[in-house]
Structure 1
Amino acid sequence: MKNRINEKLKRLNAETEKIYDSLNGIPAEKLSDHTYGWSIIQVFSHLNDAETASLKYMQKKVHAGDRMKESGMGNAFRMWWTNQALKSSLKWGAPSYISDPPEYEFEEIKKKWAETRKAIQMFVDEYPEQWMNKLVYKHPMGGRQNLERAVDSFIYHQIHHVHQIKRIKKQLGI
């Protein structure tokens, strides 16, 4: 199962690089323009904050060890439904604890996000195989989930915000 999770993390990182590539040549003031809501930089900041908060939760939850509950079909279905919503271009508010993302310089947020992804990779690498079906993660909409579905949620969350980035670029005429 770890191989599958690692492949998903590689795909997530590759998709992040594609987003960065799509912004090449765009002036810094456009990337931080929040005329129409969040700026592109704030979207990145939000994604990083969400992944950081998720990682911190999992790092705390893992201390329960074998006492963590097992994942079941209900958990899987709830996350599937959540991911379908995230794939869409529907809009809804972020949870309050990550709803006001800070502004950074483009290179600074890229560095912070890379550090978060490295920490997630380390967590996955060190995660015991026997706990792969344990409920280590909690999604605001999808509820408690196992580690693989946590990574899936990062993928679908990013897909969701790619729609937002495209919308922002269009509004800004870039």
Structure 2
Amino acid sequence: MKEVINKKLKRLNADTDTIYSLLEGIPEEKMQDNSYGWSIIQVLSHLNDAESASLEYMQKKSKAGDKMQTSGFGNSLRMWVTNQVLKSSLKWKAPSYISDPQSNSMEEIKSQWTETRNKIQRFVDEYPDKWLDKLVYKHPMGGRQNLEKAVDSFVYHQIHHIHQINRIKKQLGL
């Protein structure tokens, strides 16, 4: 099962590389432009913040060990529906607790995001196999999920924001 999770992490990282390639050659000031809502930098910051906060939650939740609840069909179904919405280009407001992401430089974002991904990889590597069916993650829309579904949500969340980045680029005439 961890092989599946690691494949999904590789896809997540490959999709991040795709984002970076979409942004090649765009001046920093254009990536900081928030004339149409969030700037591209804010979108990237939001993605990192969401993954970082999710990791912190999973680290805390995993301390319960065997006492964590077990995942079932209902949990998987709810996350599947959530992921279908995330991979669409539908727009909606971010939850209030993440509605104002930072506007760091592209270099800072890349560094922070790389660090977050390394921490996620270490968490996955160290996570006991016997807990892979445990509800260690909580998605705002998808509810409580196991580790594999958590990584799925990172993938689909990023896909959702690739649509947003492309919209921003179009609005900025890029």
TM-score by length of structure 1 reads: 0.99
- The corresponding residue for 2:5 is 5
Percent identical among aligned pairs is: 72
What CA distance in whole angstroms lies between the structure 2 residues aligned with 1:165 and 1:31?
10
Q: Is 1:20 the counterpart of 2:20 in the alignment?
A: yes
Shift of 1:3: 0.6
Q: How does 1:31-50 map to 2 (within 5 A)?
A: 31-50=31-50
What CA distance in whole angstroms lies between the structure 1 residues aligned with 2:135 and 2:35?
40
- The corresponding residue for 1:61 is 61
- The corresponding residue for 1:148 is 148
CA RMSD of aligned residues (A): 0.5
What CA distance in whole angstroms lies between the structure 2 residues aligned with 1:12 and 1:112?
16
- The corresponding residue for 1:87 is 87
Unaligned runs of 5+ in 2: none
- The corresponding residue for 1:106 is 106
One-letter identity of the residue aligned with 1:123: F
What CA distance in whole angstroms lies between the structure 2 residues aligned with 1:24 and 1:31?
11
Q: Secondary structure at the match of 2:144?
A: strand
What CA distance in whole angstroms lies between the structure 2 residues aligned with 1:59 and 1:94?
23
Q: Secondary structure at the match of 1:22?
A: helix
What CA distance in whole angstroms lies between the structure 2 residues aligned with 1:51 and 1:20?
17
One-letter identity of the residue aligned with 1:9: L
Unaligned runs of 5+ in 1: none
Shift of 1:71: 0.2
One-letter identity of the residue aligned with 1:88: S
What CA distance in whole angstroms lies between the structure 1 residues aligned with 2:109 and 2:90?
25
TM-score by length of structure 2 reads: 0.99
One-letter identity of the residue aligned with 2:37: G
After TM superposition, the structure 1 stretch with the greater mean CA deviation from structure 2, 130-139 or 14-23, is: 14-23
One-letter identity of the residue aligned with 2:75: N
Shift of 1:48: 0.4
Shift of 1:22: 1.3
Shift of 1:21: 1.0
Q: Secondary structure at the match of 2:92?
A: coil
- The corresponding residue for 1:167 is 167
What CA distance in whole angstroms lies between the structure 2 residues aligned with 1:94 and 1:127?
29
- The corresponding residue for 1:123 is 123
One-letter identity of the residue aligned with 1:143: G
What CA distance in whole angstroms lies between the structure 2 residues aligned with 1:118 and 1:92?
29
Shift of 1:93: 1.2
What CA distance in whole angstroms lies between the structure 1 residues aligned with 2:22 and 2:88?
20
- The corresponding residue for 1:158 is 158
One-letter identity of the residue aligned with 1:103: S
One-letter identity of the residue aligned with 1:169: K
Deviations 1:61-91 (A, max 9, x none): 0010000000000000000000000011111
Runs of 4+ in 1 over 4 A off after TM superposition: none
